[in-house]
Structures are given as C-alpha cells and as structure tokens.
A and B are shown apart, each in its own frame.
With several copies, the nearest count.
Chain A
Amino acid sequence: MTDLETFRAETRAWLEANCPAECRGPLENDEDRVWGGRNATFKTPAHRRWMEVMGERGWTAPEWPTEYGGGGLSREQAKVLASEMRRIDAQSPLSSFGIWMLGPALLQFGTEEQKTRFLPPIVRGEIRWCQGYSEPGAGSDLAGLQTRAEDRGDHWIVNGQKVWTSYADQADWIFCLVRTDPDAPKHLGISFVLFDMATPGVTTRPITLISGKSPFCETFFDNVRVEKENLVGTLNRGWDVAKALLAHERTMIGAMGDMGRPMGQVAVDSLGLDDSGRLDEPMLRAKIAELEIDVAAFRLSMERVGDQVKAKQVSPAIASMLKYYGSELNKRRHELAMAAGGSDALEWESDRSRGGTPAREWLRTKANSIEGGTSEVQLNILAKHLLQLPGA
C-alpha cells in the first residue's frame, strides 16, 4: 500500500468515526452553513462538534502548515481528504473568509508573529473575519478608496466608510484597506490592516438587495484605533496584498458558472417533451444547448487553467478570465432557468417556489459580474496583462 493509500484508509476510518450523521448530506439552505466566530450559531450540537474535531486536526485548512494550526497535508493528501469527504457527503465543517482569503495572504505577507497569532483561531473557527475593501465612491476603482488612517505614533486613527462588507454585522475582525499616505499616487498610499470589529467607533448596517435580505453591510469607522502591529506587509504597499487576495476571490466567484443541474434537465422537468422527444419550447431549447456547450467548455477551461498554473505556463492574471466568463455564464444560466420556470418561477413568497428561490437566485447572480471586480475591470486586466494592448 502506498503512503497515499494508507492515508486514504486512515482518513476514511477517521471520517466515518467522527463525522456526525447530522453533518452528512446536502445543506438545506445557505443559512445552515457554519461560520464559527465568537457568536457562532450551529444548526445542531453535532455541527459544533464537527467544526471542533476538524479544527483540532487542522483539516478545516488542510494544506496550511501545522505550526499555524493547519493540517500540514500535501496537495495530493488534500485531494484525498476532499474526495473522502465527498464520498460520505460530508458538509463543510467551516465556511470562513479567514481560510479562503485572509489566511493565504497572511501566509504570504504576514510576520511570524501575525501568523502565530491569527491563523490558529481561524483554523479552529474561533474568530470570524470580514473584508473591508469597497467604498461608496470606490467600486471598480478600488484604489480610489478614501478611508484614512492618521498616524498617532504606535497606532492609527481610522475614519471612513466601507460598503459590500459581507457579514460585517456578524464578524469579529476585519481585514481592511486604508489610506495611510494621502499625498502618494493612489495605488501607493494604501495599507492593509487588521482590527477588531468590537473596537469603539465601528458600526454596521445591513444592505437589502434586489434579491431580498443579504449578507452585505455598510460599515462605518468613526475614530477607530488600530494598532500598528496589525499592519500586514509593508506600509503603503497594501495594494500588493489586496491584489493577491483578489485573484483568489475571483477564481472563487468564476467557479459559480460550474454549478447546478444540467439546464436541459431543469427545463424538461418544467416543460416536458414534444412528440419528437425534444423540449417542448424549440427556441428555448436552442439556447439551452448553446449554454450547455459553453458550460462544458468553461468547466474544462477551469481545469486547464489549474493545470497551466501548476505547470507555470500562465500568468496569474488569467484568474480574470475565469471570473469574467464564469460570472457572465452564471447570469445567462439563471436567465434560462427563469425562462424554463415560466410563471411558476415568478412567484416571490409561495411555498411552491420555496419562498421565491428561483427568482432570488436569478437576481443574486446579477452581482457576480460586479463583486470581486466588475466584468469591465476583468476585461481591462486581460487587455493590459495578457494582451499587452497599449494604454490598457
């Protein structure tokens, strides 16, 4: 038995023994996710236990080094763990911007002290993080942000406003872009800092979206004290940290295009077949077939980019390609889902429509091409970095 086979056998046994029955099977809805944090809520006690045992083992962040609480697994081992979890339909023990976004940035840019201090509580789900990037005046032009940090010796005083802060009202800490040098060119006066959302002067207000309630908030900073030791990376060079982190986020959002049941089946369930065995809406059918071709090709393209990245055959800016195409595809997919659902899918509150799920999901996808950098920003990046067009 190879080492990997041994690892698989051990992992399987451990998961069988430790993954509670309540934590197997698909999530019923998004609110059942485990996010951890100081004020964590759990659907069942089993969900808390599942987070804790996985956190202890570092398997909530399988590839992070063990010295920071991670699982210390190789890429191959991590794939085995993932496939074994899929095998028993295990739910994710912990959803976390700390794991998905901040952690990789800290591993790359953080000091030893920061890594030791911040990473283990992330792995164990003790501290829940949120991201403070966008501002009302600085959406696509992220670097145009105005939140300012005044130097007061050993700390800064931060004033300003963020927007689109996911779960800011429930997060414990924030990783945040602030302007530390108002006189520098706009990309050069920004720093990446961390602070506790319980610090006096921090307030949040949830935003209602066109799809209904949302995890997004407006977040206000009124003379918030931030310790200088919580600066990540170099002073005034926070843009580098932010960019690395955004590429990560982009790949995540792009992957949306890959989700869900085949659209042809969705449509057949709703509309049935005609005498020739074809979907009983010929025009819609043609659009669905084109979509499915694009979805299949995009899925392969994600795989190929992964392989190219691994083989170092491609620029990291390629993430913009996946983000752009994936989010546009996902929007198209939900437009067709609405057409396939017809008037049934237009109901907004009925039990029949599960509280308007199809329509709310459709509307929610419209943000895909805005959040994490708009489609227009991604195209700008591609024109500049991959096509090297002049003036891009």
Chain B
Amino acid sequence: MPLILTEEQTMLKEAADGFLAEHAPITHLRQLRDSRDADGVSRDLWRAFGEMGFAGVIIPEEHGGSGLGAVEAGVVAEALGRTLTPSPFFGSSVLAARVLSDAGSAEQQTAWLPRIAAGEAILSLAVDEGPKHQPSRITTTAERSGNGFKLNGAKGFVLDGHVADALIVAARTEAGVTLFLVDPKTTGVEIERTVMVDAHNAARVTLTDVQVDADAVIGLVDGGEAALEGAMNLGRACVAASLVGAGDQAFISTVEYLRTRKQFGKAIGEFQALQHRAAHLFTELEIAKAAVLAALQRLDAGVDKADLAVSVAKAKAGRVAELAVQEAVQMHGGVGMTDEYDVGLFMKRVRVLNELLGDPGFHAERIARAGGY
C-alpha cells in the first residue's frame, strides 16, 4: 500500500480541517480556558463532531459509526493537533470505542457505541497510576465481592475523566488485568479534575471499595490485557498523528514568521543559520509523517509487529514535535513567549501529548527490548 492518503482519506482530512477551522480554531481553546469553563470541553462541539462522523470514526456502522480505520482516526487526530481543539476524541472515540468494539459484550456495545458515535456520551479509559505511563505495573485491584468485584486504587491522567459518563478502569485481578465499566456516580468513586498546562482535560480518579456487578467486566476476567494493549496502540498512533499535526502547524507559523519578521534590515528568514535549522526541521517533520502514516496503515492491516511501528511513530513524532515547538518559540523571539501568540500553546500541547501513552523514552525502551538488546 502506498504511503500516501487515499482519495477518500484526503477528503476526510479536508473535511476535518475545514470543520475545525470553522468551529474550533485556537480561539475556541482560548475561550474555554479564559472563561474557566467548568468542563474545559464543549459538549455542543462534541455532538457536532458526532454529526460529522468524527466521533464514531472507528465505530462499526452497525453501531452508528463510520466504520473506518486507524488511518482515518489518525487523520482526525492530526487535524485536532493543528487547531489544539480540546475534545474527548482520544479517550472516548479512540481508546474507549476500541476497547468496547474489541472486547465489549453485545449489551455494552449497544449501550455505549452509538452514543459515543453520536457525540452524546463521553467515556474515559483509566490506566496510568504514577507519573509515567507504565501499563505493565497496574496496582489498582479488583477483588471478587458478592456478585461482582470491589475496586480499590488511584488513577491519574484520565482524559476527560471529570465529564465522563462512564469510566473504563484497568485493574489487577487474580491472574491478570481486567477491564471494568464503572459508573462515575458509584459510591467510592472520587473524581478530581486536573487542569492541565495545555488547557486540555484530565482527572484523577480514586476508587475506594467501589462495588461493581459482574456485568461491568469488559471481555474476560484476567483477560483484559490484549484489548487494553490494542486500544493503547491505536491511541498511541493517533497521539503521534496529533503530535505531527501540532508540530507541523507550529512549523508552518514559524516559516511564515521567518518570511515577514524583519531584523537588521532584512527578513530573519534570510539568515542562513535559521534557514538551515528550518530545513532540518522540515526534514524531521517529513520523516515523522512517514513513520506515523506507516504505523496507522499497519494497524489497519493487522500486520505483525505493528506495535513496533507504533512505537517508532510515537517516539519519532514526539521528539520531532518537541523540536518544532522549541524552534518555533525561539525563532519567534520575545513574542513567542507571550500568551497572546499561539506558539506557546503548541509547546504546551506537545508536552502533554508526549507524556500521553508513553513518552519517547518509553517507546525507545520497547524498541530496544524487542530488538533483543
């Protein structure tokens, strides 16, 4: 398969870019942030997302979704990276939708997938516990209790957890990891919104003797790891796409600034030292784009070692986006440091996306382990 978007995918990209430019440009983020919006995310926008088919991009058509694949989810994620739009896309449309589509019971799917696709429900996946992404070391426990389970533990970095209609909680059971669908209103669930540096949304979730029924289990008891890993890999590739979107957009603004800003009697883009750095960054971004598209395509193709392609993409996109926003602020000079200019917002968002679902170091470690060294 060629490493370029198909015609349909290109149309989707144009639709997503167009929709976001009109309905959720960066001013949308600023408005939510500066008004100290209680949710930090717009439910109206989210429903419009549903109507456009973006919220249900990977959800099967029989459940009201668009029935598309990873590449298409990545296209939407990249567009969100360009406009920095806060939305429950990663948590709800990618991670939760994928877990439920893969491992959910018919009842669970019927109950939630159409509502996610319509942008009516927001679901959140609760995996991380410490400051770093370490999904192999989940310590939240679920003990058998009555007809179901009793959950105890603390989760952090739960995307949009404070506005979630349901949580998917990964907990350790006797012989593995199990995924639970938890109503946030259940006794013992405490949710604290954590306002993040990028004005996107996350929460800390504390579970104290939270009693859930047996039908809260998604898939098999002790058998949640595969669905979790599958969803996270899709999530990682989409986050990588968003990193490329954010990095590339910061780069585009910077090149424009280089062309127009004058110092020492000429456009600063005439200075060869900046030209070379910009050309280097361009190169890195193109290479990151290839890695991200390849990872998405491989997820769709279900090939062996797609997880490694995902790690390459997440690590590479992360490092490159980091370079892009650093160069963007530096080349913008003083104004790049002001809240009034947008480049700082890209720097903040890239920092968060880099931490999300494993930073470049986490993925480099996966590459090294898989390479037997």
Give residues 364-392 of A contacting B (CB, 8 Å).
366-367, 369-371, 374-376, 378-380, 382-383, 386-392
User: Is the Cβ of A379 less than 8 Å from the Cβ of B315?
Assistant: no
Which of B275, B308, B345, B351 is A380 in contact with, Cβ under 8 Å? B275
Among A209, A264, A304, A378, the residue within 8 A (CB) of B3 is A304
Contact B270 A389 (CB under 8 A): yes
Q: Which residues of A contact B264 (CB under 8 A)?
A: 140-141, 144
Q: Is B340 an interface residue (CB 8 A)?
A: yes
Report the bound CA distance from A282 to B367 in whole Å: 13
**How far, in Å, is B107 (CB) from chain A's closest CB?**
33
Which of A164, A210, A392 counts the most B-chain CB atoms under 10 A from its CB? Answer: A210
The total of Cβ contacts below 8 Å across the A-B interface reads 264
Question: A36 to B343, alpha carbons, bound, how many Å?
Answer: 35
**In chain A, what residue has the closest Cβ to B359?**
A339
User: CA A141 – CA B267 in complex, angstroms?
Assistant: 12
Q: Do the beta carbons of B330 and A370 come within 8 Å of each other?
A: yes
Number of interface residues of B (CB under 8 A): 85
- B352 — which chain A residues lie within 8 A by C-beta? 346
Which residues in B have their C-beta under 8 angstroms from that of A389?
255, 258-259, 269-270, 275, 278
Kindly state whether residue B23 has any CB partner on chain A within 8 Å. Answer: no
Known contacts: A304-B3, A375-B330, A391-B269. The answer to whether A268 contacts B373 by CB under 8 A is: yes
Q: Which residues of B from 202 to 256 have beta carbons under 8 Å from A?
A: 202, 255
Min CB–CB distance A182 → chain B (angstroms) = 15
Q: Which of B69-77, B161-169, B290-298 contacts A (4 or more CB under 8 A)?
A: B290-298
**In the complex, A313→B289 CA distance in Å?**
14
Is A222 at the interface (CB under 8 A from chain B)? no
Known A283-B361, A389-B258; contact A297-B290, beta-carbon cutoff 8 A: yes
Known A-B contacts A282-B365, A285-B373, A346-B197; A293 and B293 likewise in contact (beta carbons under 8 Å): no
Min CB gap B239→A, angstroms: 13
Query: Is B372 in contact with A264, judged by CB distance below 8 angstroms?
Result: yes
Question: Cα distance A60–B195 when bound, in Å?
Answer: 41
Of the listed stretches B41-49, B174-182, B279-287, name the one at the interface; the rest are far from the partner chain: B279-287
A-side contacts of B259, CB under 8 Å: 388-390
Q: Is the CB of A265 within 8 A of B282?
A: no
User: 8 closest A-B pairs (Cβ-Cβ)?
Assistant: A342-B131, A210-B344, A283-B361, A391-B270, A382-B279, A264-B373, A383-B275, A304-B3
Please report A residues at the B interface, Cβ cutoff 8 Å: 134, 137-141, 144, 163-164, 207-210, 212, 262, 264-265, 267-268, 270-271, 273, 277-279, 281-290, 292-294, 296-298, 300-301, 303-305, 307-308, 310-311, 313, 318, 321, 324-325, 331, 335, 338-339, 341-350, 356, 359, 362-363, 366-367, 369-371, 374-376, 378-380, 382-383, 386-392
* A-B contacts besides A345-B131, A366-B329, A389-B270, 7 pairs, CB < 8 Å: A273-B373, A293-B312, A311-B4, A342-B133, A346-B351, A347-B196, A390-B270
25 contacts between A and B (CB under 8 A): A140-B263, A164-B334, A209-B338, A210-B329, A210-B348, A265-B371, A268-B372, A271-B130, A278-B368, A297-B288, A300-B287, A301-B287, A304-B293, A338-B351, A342-B131, A342-B133, A367-B334, A369-B330, A371-B334, A375-B330, A376-B271, A387-B278, A387-B282, A388-B259, A389-B269
